[in-house]
Amino acid sequence: MPILKIVYVELPAQELTATKDFYSSLFGWTFQDYGPTYSAFSDSGIEGGFNSDPTERTKAPLPVIESHALEETEQSILKAGGVITLPIFSFPGGRRFHFTDPAGNELAVMQRD
């Protein structure tokens, strides 16, 4: 299996506008909205986004690993003892799934379109 790297970090947000205002004024980050509850950020050194949907946001920052073979990576995670917490789903720009490691940390793996 090729080496997979963290390429994105998703942060939970309570109030999206206030969160964007905070990071824009503090660090000069720019944003691309994807609906009323999600905004991707740029100019931060790593790609990322803020999720304010109370039914979808995680409780902690979510590291996102990029894979070019999503199903193969999912099987490797299961074989290594990981637990799939959110099955493969589509999002604007690709597909992803979430899993927990043996310590309970939640991560995601994505494959771009």
Instruction: Give me the DSSP letters along 15-49.
Output: SHHHHHHHHHHHH--EEEE-STTEEEEESSSSEEE
Regions of the chain with pLDDT less than 70: 1
Against a cut of 0.85, is the pTM above it?
A: yes
Q: Are strands 106-112 and 62-66 parallel, antiparallel or unpaired?
A: parallel
Joined together, the tokens standing for residue 75 give 């099987």
CATH number of 6-112: 3.10.180.10
What does the pLDDT read at residue 3?
Answer: 85
CA distances from 24 to 47, 50, 91 (A): 15, 13, 25
Tens of pLDDT along 98-111? 999 998 999 999 99
Distance, in Å, from the CA atom of 62 to the CA atom of 68, rounded to the nearest integer, reads 19
What does the pLDDT read at residue 1?
Answer: 66
